Structure 1
Amino acid sequence: MENMFWIGFVGFALAIAFAWMQKGKVMSYSEGTEKMQKIAASIREGANAYLKHQYTTVAKVFAVVFVVLLIMAFASNGKMLSKFTPFAFLTGGVWSMLAGFIGMKIATNANARTAQAASEGLNKGLRVAFSSGSVMGFTVVGLGMLDISIWFHLLHFGFGINDPVALGNIMVMNGMGASFMALFARVGGGIYTKAADVGADLVGKVEAGIPEDDPRNPATIADNVGDNVGDVAGMGADLYESYVGSILATFALGAVGGYGWGGLLLPVLLAVAGIVCSIIGSFLIKTKENATQQSLLKSLRTGTYTAAVLSAIVAAPLTYYILGSWGVYIAILCGLIGGCAIGYFTEYYTSDTYKPTQQLAASSETGSATVIIGGLSLGMKSTLTSILIVAAAVLISYFAAGGSSVIVDASGMFTEAFNRGLYGIGIAGVGMLSTLGITLATDAYGPVADNAGGIAEMAGLPEEVRNRTDALDSLGNTTAATGKGFAIGSASLTALALLVSYVNIIQNGTTETLNFTLTSPTVLVGMFLGAMLTFVFSAFTMSAVQTAAQSIVVEVRRQFKEIAGIMEGTTDPDYATCVGLCTRGALHEMVAPALLAIIVPIATGLILGPTGVVGLLGGVSVTGFAMAVFMSNAGGAWDNAKKYIESGHHGGKGSPCHKAAVVGDTVGDPFKDTSGPSLNILIKLCSTVSIVFSGLVIAFNLMNLL
C-alpha cells in the first residue's frame, strides 16, 4: 500500500487548481472607484509591511531553534532526535507561513471588489467574498497534502525507512515547525488586529460618537489591516497546523495499532476525498437579494453539510478497502458528525438569529456591566455542548475502532487493542477536518466582508451597500466562530493522539517502568502546571492586546485634539502612525507568549521527567480546550450582539445600548481573535515540542538523580 501515497500529490493538484480558478474569478471583478482603490492599496501596503517585519522576527527565532535541533540530532548521532526533524521543522514553518501569506494576499485584493460587488447585489458580494475565502481554504489543504506527501516519499523511498512505526514516529515530529509558525502568526496577528479594533471603537464610537470605519478615525486603516494579518494570515497558518497535525498524529497511531501502511494511507485518502467533496459543496453556496441572516446561514450550511455528507459516503468504501474495518468507519463518522454538531452549537450561541445573543443584546439596556456579565455567562455555558460532543466522539470512536478497557499488557506496554482504539480517536479528528477546504472558506470570507464594509464607509458608498456588507460581516462573525470551533474540537482529539504518541516514544526509548497514573506525584504536579500554563498564556496575550490598544487610544485622542479639521472632514488623519504603533506593539508583545509553549514543556521534562510532561499535556489539553471554547464563543456573541443593536434593535446606532454593547465587544475582541484561537495551537505545540525533545528528557532529568 505504500505505493499508493502518490494520491496525496493528486489532492494537492486538485486543491491548488481550484484555488487558482477562484483567484481568477475574484480578480475579474472591478475594484470600484478610484477612492476605493486608494483605500484598498493602503490596507495592502500596511498588511504587507507588517508581515515582512513579522517574518523577519520569526526567522531569527526559527534559526535559533533549528541550530538547537541540529545539535541534538547530530551530536547524539540520531539517538536523541531524528536527523530529519530539524529540516522538517523548517519546511513545516515555511508551508504554514505560505498558507497564511497567500490567503492574506487574495483577501487584500478582494476587499474593494467585494464592496463594489455588494453595490450591485447581496448575492454577488457573497460570491466574491466566498471565492476569496476559497482561495485560502484550498491553499491550506493543498499545501498540507504537498508537505505530507513530500516527506513520506523522501523518508520511505529516498532514505529507505521501511518500518511504518519508525516512519510514523518521525513524521509526527514534523508538525512542530507548522505549530510554531502558527502560534507566532495567530498571536502576533491577533494582537495587531484587536489593538487597532479596540482603540478605534473606544475612542471613535464611544467617545467621539462617529460610525465604525468612519474615515475621520485615525485607527480605521490599522483596523482593516488587522483584519487581514490576524483573521486571515494568522488563521490560515493556524488551520494549516491543525490540518497537518491531525493527519501526522494519526500516522503514528496507525502504525503502532498494527495497521501497517494502511493505517498511514487512510488519513491521506480521507483528506483527498474531503478536498473533492469540498469543491462540490462550494458550488452550492449562493443566496437571494434581501436575504435574511437565517437564509445566509442556510446557504453556507448547504455547502458545508453537503461536503460532509459526501465525505461520509466516500469514506465507507475507502475504509473497508484499506483496513477492512467498519469500526474505523464509525470513528470517522463520529468526527464528521461531531464537527457539524460543534459548528451548529457554536452558531447557536454566537448568531444573532438565536436567543442567547439576542438576550445578550437586551442586557445592554442596563449598561455595559450587565453586557459583560452576560457574555461571560454565555461563553461559560457554551462549553457544555462542545465538551459533551467531544467526549461522546472520543468514547464512541475508541470502542468502535476496537479499543479495550485493558490498556497495558503484562510488560507494561500499551496493548494493540488500546492503540487501535486510539487510532479511532485520531482518525475521528481527521474526519472532522477532512472538509476543511470549504469550512475554512466560509471562515476566511468574513474578514473580507468586514474590510468591504470599511471601504464602503470610507469611500462614501450608499447606505444600502453598507447594509449588505454588514449582513455578510455579521454572518462572518458566526462562521469565524464556527471555524474556531472546528479547530478547537479537532485540537482536543489531536492532542490526545499526540499524548499517546509521546508515551509510546518514551516507552520505546527507555528500559525503566514509568508510572503514568494519576497517583504519581509528578503526573499530578504536571497537571497543575498544564492548567497554569493555559491561564498564564491567556494572561500574556490579553495583556499584550491591552498594552498595544492603550497606545492606539492615546494616539487617536491626540489626533482628534491636535489636528484641526479632522472631525469636520477637511483634514485627513495620520493613519500611518496608528499602523506603525500596531506593528511595533504586535511584534514586541508576541514573542513572550509564543516562547512559553516551548520553554514550559522542556523545563517540566528536565525537572519532573517524562511522567511530569504527561501530566502537563493532560492539564493543558483539558483546560485549554474549555478556555478556548469559552473565549471564542463569548467574544463572538458580544460582537454579534453589538451588530444586532446596530441593525435597529434597542435604539440602534449611537444609542446608550449601542455604546454599552461596544464596550462588551471590546472585551470580547481579544477573547475571540487573540487568546481563544491561540489556545488550540498551544495545546498541540506543547505536545509536538514534548515529542521532539523526548530524547533529551529521557537522558537528562532531575528525577533520575533522586
Structure 2
Amino acid sequence: MNMIFLGVALVGAIALLVAVFIAKWINKNDEGNQHMREIASYIHQGAMTFLMREYRTIGIFAVVMFAVLFFAVNWQTATLFLFGASFSLAAGLFGMNTATKANVRTAAAARFGMPSALRIAFRGGAVMGLSVVGLAALGLGVVLSLLGVETQQQIEYISGFGLGATSMSLFGRVGGGIFTKAADVGADLVGKVEAGIPEDDPRNPGVIADNVGDNVGDVAGMGADLFDSYVGAIISAILLATTLKNAAGESMLSEGIAFPLLVVAIGILASVIAVFFVGGKNTKNPAKSLNLVTYGGSIIVLISSYILGTLIFGSTMEFHGFAFGSEAGNHFGGIGAFGAVASGLVIGSAIGFFTERYTSSDYKAVQGIAKQAETGTATLIIDGFSVGLLSAVWPLVLIAVGIMLSYFCAGLYGIGLAAVGMLSTTGLVVAVDAYGPIADNAGGIAEMCSLPKETREITDKLDSVGNTTAAIGKGFAIGASALTVLGLYVSYAEIANISAIDLLNPLVVAGLFLGGIMPFLFSALTMRSVGRAAGQMIEEIRRQFRADKGIMEGTSKPDYEKCIQISTDAALKEMLFPGVLAVVCPIVVGIIDTAMLGGMLAGAMLVGVLLALMMDNAGGAWDNAKKYIEEGHHGGKGSEAHKAAVVGDTVGDPFKDTSGPSMNTLICLMTIVSVVFLPLFLR
C-alpha cells in the first residue's frame, strides 16, 4: 500500500511540475503595448494584495481552529488540519498569480487570431486546475504514507486534512464572491445604466476592481471550491473502504483504498495530457475544443477504471442490488466498482449538459429571458427566476439516479466511488472554468486599451464561451459536492453507529429543520454583504464622477485604488461570520445529540443543493440574456431592453458568484466538521 500512496504523491508532483512549466511558458508570451501592461499590472497587484490580506485574516481562524482540534479531538487531526489548509491556500495563490498574468497575454495574442489566444487563456486556467489536483494528490499521498492505514483511528485522522481544505475553501469562496460582486454591481449600475458608458470603459472608477474580482472570486474561489470537493470525495471513499469485505468475510480495506487513489492518479495524468491539445492551428470553435478535451479525459478515466476494477476486485459481474442491512455492499465485482465510477462521470457530464441548456444564449431559456426585457425589468427578473427554479429539476433527478446506480453497483462504498468518478477529471474542469475569467479579463483589457475591432471580436467570443463554461463548472461543482457530502454523511453515520434517520424522533426532525435553515441563513448573510458593499461602491463611483468632470471627458484618471479598497475591506469584514457559523452550528447540535446532527446534515444537504442550483443557473441565465441583447438582439446596447437586462444581471451577480457557489462548500464544511468532531460528541 505504501508504494501506491507514494505513487499517487509522485503523480501529484508531476502535475505541479507541469503547472510550473506552463506558467513559465505563459510568462514568455508577449504582454502587448505599454498601456496594456499598465492595466494588467493594476489587476495583478490588486488581486495579489487582496489575497494576501485575506490569507492573513484566514490565518487567525486557522490558529484558533488548530487549538480547538488539538484539545478537543487530538493532535494528529489538528496537525493535518493545518496541512490541508496550507495546501488549499497554496493552490489558490499559485493559480491566481498565473491567471492575472495570462489575461494580458491572451489579449495580446488575440491580435494574431483565435487559436493563440485560446491556447494562452486555457493554459492559464490549466495552471489552476493542475495545482488543485497536484497539491491534493501530493498531500494525501504523503499523509497516508506517513500515517499508515492499519487501524480505523489512523484512517479517521485524514479527515483533518479535509477539514483544513474545506474551511479555507469557504472563506475563499465567500470573501472572493463578496469582493467581485460588490465591484461588478457598482460598476455596472453606475457605469452602464447611469453614465451610459460601455462595460470595461477605463473611465469607470470601478472597472479595475471588477476585473480583480473576476480573479479572486472565479479563479481562486472556484479552485478552492473544487479542491475541497476533490479532497472530500477521496477521503469519503477511503473512510467507506473500512466497511468492505469479500465473500469469505475477509477485509478488503487495502483494495478499497487503492482503487479510488489509482482512479484519481489516472485522472490527473489524463488531465496533464489533455491540456496540450487545446488551441490547435485550425481552432475556430473554442467551445467545441474545450468540450473535446474534457470528454477525452473522461473516456480515458472510464477505460482505466474498468481495467483497474477487474484487476483489483476480480472480473465477476456480481452486483450489490438494493438490499439494506449490516451485510449490504460488503462484496461486489470489478464491474460493480467500474459501474459506480462510471455513474459519477456520466451524471457529472449530464448535469453540465442541462446547465448549458438553461444558461447559454444559444438556447430558448436565455433567449426567452432576453425577450422579456422588452417589457421591463420586472418581467425579465420573474422569467429568470423561473428558469433558475426549473434548472434545479433535472440535476436533482440525475443526482438521485446516480446515487441509486452507484449503490446498486457497489453498496455504500459505491457512492464514494461515484463522487471520485465525477471528480476524477477535476484538473480539466477547473482549467475550463478558470479559462472564463481570464478571457473576461482579456476582453476588459482589450476594451480599456482600445485594441482593434477584430481583436475585441476574438476576446468577446472567448468571453462568451467562458460565461457558459463557468456556469457548467458551477453545475458540476454542485453535483460533485452533493455526492461528496453524501459519501461523508454515510461515513459519519457508520462511525456514529446510526443505522437510520428516524423521522419519528423529534430531535431528528428538529435537526432536519435546522439544517434546512442553514443554506437560507447563509445566503441571506452573503447577499446582504454584497448589497452593503455594492452600495458603498456605487456612492464612491458617483462621487468621483461628480468631483472630477474630467473623468468622463477622458482627461483625468479615476481613482481605481479607492474602489479596490472598498471591495477588499467589505469582503474581509463580511466573510468571517458566515464561515464561523458553518463550523459552530454542527458542533453545538452534535454535542446535544448525534442523531439530531444526522438530521441537520440531511436537511442542509438537500436544501443547499437545490438553492445552489437555482441561484447559480438563474444568475448565469440573466448574465447571458444581457450579453445576448448586447449582440444586437431586442434593440442592442443602450436600448431600454438592455437597461432592464443590466439590472437583471446585477441581481443575478451575487446569486451566481457569491451565495450560490458558497452552498457547495457550506454543506461540505458542515459534514466534514461533523466527522472530525465525532469523537468529541461520542465521549
TM-score normalised over the length of structure 1: 0.91
Residue 530 (structure 1) aligns with: 515
Question: What secondary structure is seen at the aligned counterpart in 2 of 1:353?
Answer: coil
Deviation larger for 318-327 or 626-635: 318-327
Residue 162 (structure 1) aligns with: 150
Q: Does 1:107 align with 2:132?
A: no
Deviations 1:180-236 (A, max 9, x none): 000000000000000000000000001110000101100001001111111111111
How far did 1:2 drift? Answer: 4.4
Deviations 1:13-61 (A, max 9, x none): 3211221232133112100000100111111111111111111111111
Residue 176 (structure 1) aligns with: 163
Residue 414 (structure 2) aligns with: 424
Q: Does 1:279 align with 2:272?
A: yes
Whole-angstrom distance in 1 between the partners of 2:616 and 2:272: 28
Alignment of structure 1 residues 162-561 onto 2, 5 Å: 162-163=150-151, 165-258=152-245, 259-286=252-279, 291=284, 295-324=285-314, 325-401=334-410, 421-507=411-497, 516-561=501-546
Whole-angstrom distance in 2 between the partners of 1:526 and 1:386: 25
How far did 1:289 drift? Answer: 7.7
Deviations 1:116-160 (A, max 9, x none): 11121122111110010111101110000011011101101xxxx
Q: What letter corresponds to residue 155 of structure 2 in structure 1? A: G
Whole-angstrom distance in 1 between the partners of 2:453 and 2:588: 56
Residue 324 (structure 2) aligns with: none
Q: Assess if the C-alpha contact under 8 Å between 1:2 and 1:265 holds in 2.
A: no
Q: Does 1:650 align with 2:634?
A: yes
Whole-angstrom distance in 2 between the partners of 1:493 and 1:330: 15
Q: Assess if the C-alpha contact under 8 Å between 1:287 and 1:296 holds in 2.
A: no
Q: Assess if the C-alpha contact under 8 Å between 1:31 and 1:116 holds in 2.
A: yes
Q: Assess if the C-alpha contact under 8 Å between 1:2 and 1:261 holds in 2.
A: no
How far did 1:171 drift? Answer: 1.7
Q: Assess if the C-alpha contact under 8 Å between 2:439 and 2:459 holds in 1.
A: yes
Question: What secondary structure is seen at the aligned counterpart in 1 of 2:610?
Answer: helix
2:75 pairs with one of 83, 104, 114: 83
Residue 59 (structure 1) aligns with: 59
Whole-angstrom distance in 1 between the partners of 2:340 and 2:121: 34
Q: What letter corresponds to residue 104 of structure 1 in structure 2? A: M
Whole-angstrom distance in 2 between the partners of 1:484 and 1:230: 12
Q: Assess if the C-alpha contact under 8 Å between 2:13 and 2:135 holds in 1.
A: no
Whole-angstrom distance in 1 between the partners of 2:56 and 2:613: 32
Deviations 1:420-457 (A, max 9, x none): x1110110110001011111111001101111111111
Q: Assess if the C-alpha contact under 8 Å between 1:349 and 1:382 holds in 2.
A: yes
Q: What letter corresponds to residue 25 of structure 2 in structure 1? A: K
Whole-angstrom distance in 2 between the partners of 1:515 and 1:658: 53
Alignment of structure 1 residues 597-676 onto 2, 5 Å: 597-607=582-592, 609-676=593-660
Question: What secondary structure is seen at the aligned counterpart in 1 of 2:277?
Answer: coil
Q: Percent same amino acid among aligned pairs?
A: 50
Q: Assess if the C-alpha contact under 8 Å between 2:125 and 2:435 holds in 1.
A: yes
Q: Assess if the C-alpha contact under 8 Å between 1:281 and 1:302 holds in 2.
A: no
1:399–1:238 CA distance, 2 compared to 1 (3 A): same
Whole-angstrom distance in 1 between the partners of 2:430 and 2:223: 8
How far did 1:492 drift? Answer: 0.8
Whole-angstrom distance in 2 between the partners of 1:178 and 1:666: 30
Whole-angstrom distance in 2 between the partners of 1:514 and 1:320: 31
Q: Does 1:128 align with 2:109?
A: no
Deviation larger for 483-492 or 545-554: 483-492
How far did 1:319 drift? Answer: 1.3
Number of residue pairs aligned between Structure 1 and Structure 2: 658
Deviations 1:645-686 (A, max 9, x none): 111111111111111111111011111111111101011100
Question: What secondary structure is seen at the aligned counterpart in 2 of 1:283?
Answer: helix
How far did 1:287 drift? Answer: 6.6
How far did 1:179 drift? Answer: 0.4
Q: Does 1:116 align with 2:108?
A: yes
Q: Assess if the C-alpha contact under 8 Å between 2:181 and 2:534 holds in 1.
A: yes
Q: What letter corresponds to residue 424 of structure 1 in structure 2? A: G
Whole-angstrom distance in 2 between the partners of 1:137 and 1:610: 37
Q: Assess if the C-alpha contact under 8 Å between 1:339 and 1:486 holds in 2.
A: yes
Q: Assess if the C-alpha contact under 8 Å between 1:523 and 1:614 holds in 2.
A: yes
Residue 322 (structure 2) aligns with: none
How far did 1:487 drift? Answer: 1.3
1:548–1:289 CA distance, 2 compared to 1 (3 A): farther
How far did 1:589 drift? Answer: 0.5
How far did 1:698 drift? Answer: 2.5
Whole-angstrom distance in 2 between the partners of 1:604 and 1:651: 54
Question: What secondary structure is seen at the aligned counterpart in 1 of 2:210?
Answer: helix
Q: What letter corresponds to residue 511 of structure 2 in structure 1? A: G
Q: Assess if the C-alpha contact under 8 Å between 2:84 and 2:164 holds in 1.
A: yes
Stretches of structure 2 that go unaligned for 5 or more consecutive residues are 246-251, 315-333
Q: Assess if the C-alpha contact under 8 Å between 1:383 and 1:629 holds in 2.
A: yes
